[in-house]
Amino acid sequence: MFYYLLKYVLLGPLLRLVFRPRIEGLEHVPSSGAAIVAGNHLSFSDHFLMPAVLKRRITFLAKAEYFTGPGLKGRLTAFFFHSAGQIPVDRSGKEAGQAAIREGLGVLSKGELLGIYPEGTRSHDGRLYKGKVGVAVMALKAGVPVVPCAMIGTFEAQPPGRKIPRIHPVVIRFGEPLDFSRYEGMENEKAVLRAITDEIMYAILSLSEQEYVDQYAADVKAAEAERKAEEKRRASRLPQR
């Protein structure tokens, strides 16, 4: 119930006012039955903008840190994310990917929409990064279509690190559903999973017209953080004047 209160009364109207989203291809999202909506991820606002414009409820897999903050603020944040249709997923450790797949399949088994960001994390520079194969595993195991989605303009409105979004127009573009039934029963074939994931990412790329990077976003972020840390260490060793 609170999900629809957020969508139609509290958060939805505010998001439409701030971002003025233009919706394209909404007819490609199935009106019933299970499906995966796979999108690029440019902004914290993406979590709420897509649900605000869809006619159906959609559930996203979100990082567990949103649900585990300390104190009253942490509890309120967790309540908000749960109410907004987010499911916490621990992204650390070897079992993280399997946990996400189990949660996602649980949503799909109920005939619902599941929202996924195949990149696994927000883009830190506005480019589109290599997708992780979990989306392919879920599509094959659940036997559901994948609807590609492009968020355009959310990076400019609220780039990583910016708490309050700018007023900026946004386009949310949905593509035709991708059918992978030809690969039924091949969810353990690594080459097949890679091919499916790449096809999904290409569909997102065609919709978003971003620059593509054939590397995982998390790896690029980690390398950048290490580079900055090394520069800081070197600067600290320079003689002081």
User: In this predicted model, what pLDDT tens digit does every residue of 46-57 receive, in sequence order?
Assistant: 888 888 888 899
Tell me if residue 38 falls in helix, strand or coil: strand
pLDDT for residue 159: 85
Tell me if residue 95 falls in helix, strand or coil: coil
pLDDT for residue 116: 93
User: Taking the CB of residue 93, how many other CB atoms lie within 10 A of it?
Assistant: 9
Q: Show the domains of the chain with their CATH numbers.
A: 2-216 (3.40.1130.10)
pLDDT for residue 237: 75
**Distance in angstroms (rounded) separating the CA atoms of residues 158 and 162:** 6
pLDDT for residue 85: 66
This prediction has a pTM of 0.87
Q: What is the DSSP letter of 7?
A: I
User: 129 and 220 in contact (C-beta within 8 Å)?
Assistant: yes
- Segment 132-156 shows an average pLDDT of 96
In the predicted structure, residue 154 carries a pLDDT above the cut 70 = yes
Counting Cα atoms < 13 Å in the Cβ hemisphere of 210 gives: 27
pLDDT for residue 180: 97
**Distance in angstroms (rounded) separating the CA atoms of residues 137 and 145:** 12
